[in-house]
Amino acid sequence: MILLASPGQGAQTPGFLQPWLEIPGVADRLAWWSAVTGLDLVRYGTVADAEEIRDTAVAQPLLVAAALAACEVLYEDGQAGPDAVAGHSVGELAAAAIAGVLTPEAALVLVRERGRAMAEAAAVTETGMTAVLGGDPDEVLASIDKHGLTPANVNGAGQIVAAGTTERLARFAEEPPPKARLRPLSVAGAFHTEHMEPAVDTLRRLAPGAPVAAPRTRLLQNRDGAVVEDGREFVARLVDQVSAPVRWDSCMTTMRDLGVTAIIELPPAGTLTGLARRELRGVELLALKTPEDLDKARELIKAHTS
């Protein structure tokens, strides 16, 4: 059983889209999606620097467009779609489009508004996110709570992300949990916390008008790792998730329970396969970083599609 995974914000790196533009049709597709999002996705994915693509309103549409473009290339030979799909945070919008719940254009409209609304919410208070690597999970969660922060991402494999005001994150850094390492993340706000409630309100007004269909494959959701069979329910969950913690650990538990035997992470790939490598022993993994990885990915699909 093969699962496609779409990464979340923070996975982007300068120039990561450049090699994909050499594939016929990709530049045209991105030009069309640039019109949908109101962003020059080709420029942002090729020549923009790290600070430009750190901007939430830019990073989120760029990530979703990159994942969708790579998925279209991966399956252009008429292969059957994946057995399951999951996205981390904003990657859920790419997952929804791959599963057929949303059209690519609908997903990009929603991510455009999501990115803008979350950027506006982040500008109200100076906030951020810090990855906590290692340590005892209970002690880590207790320390996060002690400092008035939120465990915004519970990623499994010994990684929890704390989020909140920069002042509280600074105090947290001065008194880290025992045996844990802290790594500030390159994001512009405390996503998946109460600070994002204004963005949730924006999306709740917009989402009911989006065209939605039933998923055509198993579609995992970040709240609890559940396989959601109703498209409208998935979109509602996706909206609420903006201010609620991402439980990627639960998603990986579901992957194990479903019997997933291979995972392909869409570009900009590496983060989610890294987590799976430590958590899902025996599952074959591929980070689809450049077109050079396509042949290996297609071989994996042929070997593992149920």
Assigned token pair, 273: 């396969």
Q: For residues 178 and 190, what is the distance between their CA atoms, to the nearest angstrom?
A: 23
Residues designated as active site: 89, 192
pLDDT of residue 78: 62
- pLDDT tens for 90-129 read 999 999 999 999 999 999 999 999 999 999 999 999 999 9
Angle at 199 between CA 198 and CA 203, to 5 degrees: 120
Cβ contact 180:187 at 8 Å: no
- The pTM of the full predicted model, rounded to 2 decimals, is 0.95
In a shared domain, residues 209 and 70: yes
| CA nearest neighbour of 267 among 42, 71, 54, 67 | 67
In a shared domain, residues 134 and 94: no
In a shared domain, residues 69 and 160: no
**pLDDT under 50: residue ranges of the chain:** none
Where does a domain end: 143, 163, 184? 184
Q: Containing domain of residue 145, as a range?
A: 125-184
Give the domain CATH number at 205. Answer: 3.40.366.10
In a shared domain, residues 117 and 131: no
> Tokens 């473009």 label which residue?
69
Where does a domain end: 153, 184, 215? 184
In a shared domain, residues 219 and 276: yes
Per DSSP, 9 falls in state T
In a shared domain, residues 297 and 204: yes
pLDDT of residue 113: 98
In a shared domain, residues 113 and 229: yes
| CA nearest neighbour of 266 among 64, 96, 105 | 64
In a shared domain, residues 159 and 118: no
Q: For residues 133 and 150, what is the distance between their CA atoms, to the nearest angstrom?
A: 15
Strands 180-184 and 262-265: unpaired
pLDDT of residue 182: 97
In a shared domain, residues 289 and 259: yes
pLDDT of residue 145: 97
In a shared domain, residues 150 and 113: no
Cα within 13 Å of Cα(25), Cβ side: 8
Query: Could you give the 3-state DSSP secondary structure of residue 192?
Result: coil
Q: For residues 294 and 30, what is the distance between their CA atoms, to the nearest angstrom?
A: 19
User: Which class for 171: exposed (0-12), middle (13-18), buried (19 or more C-beta within 10 A)?
Assistant: middle
Tell me the sheet residues that pair with 134: 180
Q: For residues 261 and 12, what is the distance between their CA atoms, to the nearest angstrom?
A: 26
Instruction: Kindly give the residue spans of alpha helices, DSSP state H, lying in the chain.
Output: 26-37, 41-46, 50-54, 56-74, 91-98, 104-124, 137-146, 166-174, 197-206, 231-240, 248-258, 271-279, 294-304
In a shared domain, residues 47 and 169: no
Q: For residues 76 and 55, what is the distance between their CA atoms, to the nearest angstrom?
A: 31
In a shared domain, residues 244 and 298: yes
| CA nearest neighbour of 85 among 73, 71, 105 | 71
Cα within 13 Å of Cα(73), Cβ side: 29
Domain count, the chain: 2
| CA nearest neighbour of 305 among 127, 77, 59 | 77
Give the domain CATH number at 137. Answer: 3.30.70.250
| CA nearest neighbour of 252 among 228, 218, 222 | 222
Cβ contact 157:255 at 8 Å: no
Cβ neighbours of residue 32 closer than 8 Å, sequence gap 6 or more: none
